[in-house]
Amino acid sequence: MEINSYILKPGHGTVPLKTYNDFINVNDSDGLLEIEDFLDDFYLDGAIEIKYEEQIFLDINNWDLIDQLWSYILNLIEKYIENDKSRVYFPDSPNEICMEKVNRNGMMLAITTDKKRKIIQNERKMIELLLREAKFFFNNISILRDYKQESLEEVERIEVIEKKLIMRNS
């Protein structure tokens, strides 16, 4: 599974169908710093792209408030660790992400946008990947002054969730 995070360039929110030219990958720190002065102080638009075996489960046209979406995904993981299933909606759209245990080591990740897509994978591997990508996202946007404190707090939260995951699997 491959996961990428993108920040929507300021002024590109009104374009109906997005292309990669409308976004900056969060691993492009120079690009992020170039647009920093034009970003909203409270609402960070962006997209999470999830691909699995050549199939796209979430693409850039499902953009939303990306920092909040990653936080919601962390909520999803925390609830899943406690209950073996959980669901969240995107912050600013009706799109839904669900996690559900399907067998001893497996879990289903279901993403509903214009249609429902499901991935069944090893639970630990999938959660570790989501946590790693969330940490990557928050570490990378922490260079943006308006998002630094919140991002560092989310990185600390991820580390707590990682410990819960280790305890669950021991």
pLDDT at 78: 97
Rounded average pLDDT over 123-145: 96
Total number of domains constituting the chain: 1
- What's the pLDDT tens digit per position in 67-103? 999 999 999 999 999 999 999 999 999 999 999 999 9
- What's the pLDDT tens digit per position in 10-61? 988 777 778 999 999 999 999 999 999 999 988 999 999 999 988 889 999 9
pLDDT at 169: 75
Contact 80, 169 (CB under 8 A): no
Determine the length of the chain.
170
Distance CA 83, CA 46 (A): 29
Q: pTM, whole model, 2 decimals?
A: 0.94
Residue 57's domain comprises 2-168
